[in-house]
Amino acid sequence: MSGKPTVVLVHGFWGGAAHWNKVILELKRQGYGSIRAVELPLTSLADDAERTRKMVAQVDGPVVLVGHSYGGAVISQAGNLPNVVALVYIAAFAPDAGESPGGITQEHVPIAASNLAPDSDGYLWVQADKFHESFCQDLTPDEGYVMGITQKAPLASTFGDAVSAPAWKHKPSWYQISSQDRMIAPENQKRMSARMGARKVIELAASHASLASQPAEVAALIDEAAQATA
């Protein structure tokens, strides 16, 4: 275990750190003894990146930083710390400087965009009764039901927050595309992964929730990034 880096996992919109639970167990089985999962406030990119930077800075040694969904924007903003040795994007946003998740979304609007609903406090939700079909259609209906009820909504304004100095321009990166994604259009994922010059891109026939539906494949990509940068 001592030879492996720390893996820091960053969730996205409409979920918390627990969205990584199956990947965490896969990494544990592979001998990773130091795994962290950030709990983001989802109040602004600045707040979320700062929370991630603080967790990475607590690690004494190399870090593989992994982002799912909006978490990809967070690791792009927070990943320039010197102990970050690799970035792994899981069906994630990878904005360039000046780009925001919202702006990228408008390039190819995802299938489930109409299932988002703002509330009177400025938070943006996936309609709970549409969560399974929108976010995780390759999980069981019961799993989708629970994820919909327990979702963590972001402040809608966070969608417009732009990355300033994307870490993927300086750090080796890996990317997993979800070909059945209804939350981030696969066309956008393909464009972002090609633009970053990822060392490896894999495509899974998965929903947006590939971290839950195909955790072994996601963990294997993380492990490959860790080994390549050891």
Taking the CA atoms of 221, 140, 16 and 73 in sequence, report the sign of the dihedral they define. positive
pLDDT for residue 161: 98
pTM (2 decimals)?
Answer: 0.97
Q: What is the pLDDT of residues 210-220, one digit of tens each?
A: 999 999 999 99
Which residues, in sequence order, are bridge partners of residue 212?
A: none
Q: What angle do CA 64, 169, 75 make, to 5 degrees?
A: 40
pLDDT tens digits along 1-51: 458 999 999 999 999 999 999 999 999 999 999 999 999 999 999 999 999
Q: Terminal CA-to-CA distance of the chain, rounded, Å?
A: 13
Residue 208: closest CA among 114, 150, 131: 131
The pLDDT of residue 109 is above 90? yes
pLDDT of residue 208: 98
Residue 172 above 50 pLDDT? yes
